[in-house]
Amino acid sequence: MEWGAVIVAAGRGTRMGAADNKVFLELGGRSLLARSLEAFERCEAVSSVVLVVSAGERKKAAEIVGEEGFRKVAMIVPGGAERQQSVYEGLGALSTDGVLVHDAARPLVTPEQIEACIRAAEEHGASALAVRVKDTIKVSDGNGFIVATPERGLLWGVQTPQAFSRGELMAAHRQASEEGAAATDDAMLLERLGKKVAIVEGDYANIKITTPEDLPIAELLLARRRERESAT
């Protein structure tokens, strides 16, 4: 199967509180967006990339793609108000049968993790990178009181990339939008239809840059990765 990727970068970064959209912030001297694109550029199993950005940030994103020489970026398309809509816009612009959906805000993803998601999706139909939850998770009653403690051994913190048949994911998106179902990731859209999504055990370093303390943590993780690479 031919694989393409939709990389979503059309958020506002409200929780980061920076003047700019967080995907343009720098990590180790390069933007988060460039680092995410680089991982897909280096993954041989991915043939093309659709980048989803806010209409007002298209020029800035195109400059990064041009300057960094990302040859796989076939199209840059405008996103929507929510991540779910941004992903759907990207899916429509891609032509491959298989699709990986990735947050530009996860700049520490590796080509090996992308490849592992593809392999699992080819075997099971769909897959998502995830890590075992380390904390004990509580369910609240919505009013500040704990009502339940799910069994930790069954809990996973889901990340991106997530890999799907593009046609199947597009159909799931259309159905969710007809039924007014909102989803914070794409696997959710298949789960609600009773379809299987395989878990690919990932790495705690593939963090999503969401709030200001995430950036120095990502700098440390990047430095640790560089040390390991130079030691091998």
Ligand X SMILES: Nc1ccn([C@@H]2O[C@H](COP(=O)(O)OP(=O)(O)OP(=O)(O)O)[C@@H](O)[C@H]2O)c(=O)n1
**Is the four-CA dihedral 42, 43, 45, 49 of positive or negative sign?**
negative
Tokens 């055990």, residue located = 201
Q: How far is the CB of 186 from ligand LQXTBERG (least distance, A)?
A: 7
- Strand residue runs (E) in 123-189: 127-132, 139-140, 146-148, 156-165
Q: Which of 79, 98, 161, 202 binds ligand X (CB under 6 A)?
A: 79
Q: 3-state DSSP call for residue 24?
A: helix
- Closest to ligand LQXTBERG by CB, 62 vs 192, is 192
Q: How many CA atoms lie within 13 A of 157 on its CB side?
A: 14
- Rounded to the nearest whole angstrom, what is the least distance from the CB of residue 216 to ligand LQXTBERG in the complex? 19
Length in residues, the chain: 232
Give me the 55-84 binding string for ligand LQXTBERG, x by CB under 6 A, dash otherwise: ----------------------------x-
Residue 188: CB atoms within 10 Å: 18
Q: Is 159 in the site for ligand LQXTBERG (CB under 6 A)?
A: yes
Binding mask 29-58 for ligand X (x = CB under 6 A): -----------------------x------
Q: Which stretch binds ligand X (CB under 6 A): 78-86, 123-131, 149-157, 218-226?
A: 78-86
Q: Determine which residue in the list 34, 50, 77, 83 makes contact with ligand X, applying CB under 6 A.
A: 83
How many distinct helices (H) and strands (E) make up the chain?
7, 11
Window 164 to 223, contacts with ligand LQXTBERG (CB under 6 A): 184-185, 208
Minimum distance, C-beta of residue 209 to ligand LQXTBERG, in the bound complex (Å): 11
Alpha helices (H) in the chain, listed in sequence order: 32-42, 58-68, 83-93, 111-124, 166-178, 187-191, 214-231
Q: Phi/psi at 71 (nearest 5 deg)?
A: -75, -20
Of 153, 169, 171, 151, the C-alpha closest to 161 is: 169
How many residues contact ligand X, by CB under 6 A?
A: 22
Residue 216 is which amino acid?
P
- Choose one: 22-30, 50-58, 113-121, 158-166; the region binding ligand LQXTBERG (CB under 6 A): 158-166
Smallest distance from ligand LQXTBERG to CB 58, Å: 21
Residues that bind ligand LQXTBERG (CB under 6 A): 83, 103, 158-160, 184-185, 208
